[in-house]
């Protein structure tokens, strides 16, 4: 049977007196690619913060890799790429390789020098995201999309089994978003890394993900991609709170 990497059971969360998340139950299994979609303010980032242990639910339980989150100590099994990673300006004094190696500090100790082995891991991670030829470049000289690939490599250098991302395509040009998502698809399909991707770009991602969860304070739908696609746009518009028309772009879908 598949290992369950994330298990949320009846999670509730309030900021002050506002209910932001209600009765959230969700299981993410190994090797799955989940798109967590929902409009702005629907609680997506809050839910990720709960999964990452940065916020504590008011009710319900969170398990990571089968352990209660309070007892979970193997944080290196989860790689996280935030929304605001790609904000370096051209003067930022770090090379691509340095940024990726910094993802390994937890294992090597902050002040130890980096070993040849770390360097190799960092280069391998850069190869996976197609950025190895940029390893000596300054991070600030890269486009938003390239920077975000470097941050994915940084997360991958620690060899996580699960990659969690919060709207990673914010700030990426539309024409590069497609290839960015194709890369995520390869990461999942060829390297077996489970992905939980938060986005409000409902069209592109839902063609790539194996599973979709629709959030707007509570989970309105969760299931495999084909079931999501069968759902009518009217139903999606209803939980989204405004009219939604899905355009199917079929990014790399044939490969799945
Ligand atoms: P999303 O990521 O889907 O846009 P968020 O999880 O950021 O949604 O926010 C969900 C709701 O919680 C929104 O109504 C937002 O205004 C509110 N919220 C977010 N962060 C805070 C906070 N630190 N304090 C109070 N309310 C917040
Ligand atoms: Mg958010």
Ligand 1-lining residues (CB < 6 angstroms): 15, 20, 38, 40-46
Side by side, the strands of the sheet bearing 59-64 are 18-29, 4-15, 59-64, 67-68
pLDDT of 256 higher than 50: no
Cα–ligand 1 centroid distance for 215 (angstroms): 13
Domains and CATH numbers, the chain: 1-47+59-65+162-256 (3.40.50.300), 87-160 (no CATH)
121-166: per-residue pLDDT in tens? 999 999 999 999 999 999 999 988 899 899 999 999 989 999 999 9
CA dihedral 89, 75, 26, 190 (to 10 degrees): 70
Distance CA 29, CA 49 (A): 19
**Crossing angle of the two packed helices 144-157 and 174-191, in degrees rounded to 10:** 20
Distance 216 CA to ligand 1 centre (A): 11
Q: How confident is the model at residue 253 (pLDDT cuts 50, 70, 90)?
A: very low
Place of tokens 């991609």: 225
pLDDT digits (tens, 9 = 90+) for 27-42: 999 999 999 999 999 9
What count of residues does the chain have? 256
Percent of the chain past pLDDT 70, that is, above it, reads 89
């Amino acid at each position: 049977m598949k290992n369950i990497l994330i298990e949320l059971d009846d999670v509730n969360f309030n900021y002050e007196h506002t209910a932001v998340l209600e009765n959230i139950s969700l299981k993410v299994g190994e090797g799955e690619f989940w798109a967590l979609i929902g409009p702005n303010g629907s609680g997506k980032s809050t839910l990720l913060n709960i999964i990452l242990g940065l916020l504590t639910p008011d009710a319900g339980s969170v398990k990571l890799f089968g352990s209660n989150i309070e007892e979970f100590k193997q944080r290196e099994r989860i790689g996280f790429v935030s929304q605001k990673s790609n904000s370096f300006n051209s003067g930022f004094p770090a090379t691509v390789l340095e940024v990726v190696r910094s993802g390994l500090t937890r294992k090597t100790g902050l002040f130890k020098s980096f070993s040849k082995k770390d360097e190799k891991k960092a280069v391998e991670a850069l190869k996976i995201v197609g950025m190895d030829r940029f390893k000596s470049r300054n991070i600030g000289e890269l486009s938003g999309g390239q920077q975000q690939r470097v941050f994915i490599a940084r997360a991958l250098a620690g060899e996580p089994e699960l990659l969690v991302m919060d709207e990673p395509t914010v700030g990426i040009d539309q024409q590069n978003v497609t290839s960015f998502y194709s890369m995520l698809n390869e990461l999942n399909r060829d390297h077996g890394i489970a992905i939980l991707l938060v986005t409000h770009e409902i069209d592109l991602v839902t063609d790539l993900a194996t599973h979709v969860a629709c959030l707007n304070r509570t989970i309105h739908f969760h299931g495999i991609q084909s079931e999501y696609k069968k759902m009518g746009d009217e139903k999606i518009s209803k939980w989204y709170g405004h009219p939604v028309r899905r355009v199917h772009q079929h990014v790399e879908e044939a490969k799945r």
